[in-house]
């Protein structure tokens, strides 16, 4: 499983979505699913120099 990290920005009333990184190795993924609102999640990854930069 891989996790894609996106950056959403609004510029001049236009939504811009850009792919920032792909995380394909993580030690734990905790996901709380909600029925009527957005859920919350936690991803635990190694603190490599590249991951810290992202």
Q: Where are the domains of the chain?
A: 3-53
State the pLDDT at residue 34.
86
Q: Cα dist. 7→3, 19, 27, 53 in Å?
A: 13, 6, 23, 14
Is 23:3 a contact under the CB 8 Å cutoff? Answer: yes
pTM beyond 0.85: the answer is no
Read off the pLDDT band of 52 (50, 70, 90): confident
Q: What percent of the chain has pLDDT over 90?
A: 20
């Amino acid at each position: 499983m891989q996790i894609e990290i996106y950056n959403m920005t609004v510029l001049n009333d236009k939504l811009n979505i850009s792919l920032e990184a792909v995380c394909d190795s993580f030690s734990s993924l905790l996901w709380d699913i909600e029925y009527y609102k957005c859920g919350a999640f936690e991803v635990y990854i190694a603190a490599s120099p590249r991951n810290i930069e992202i």
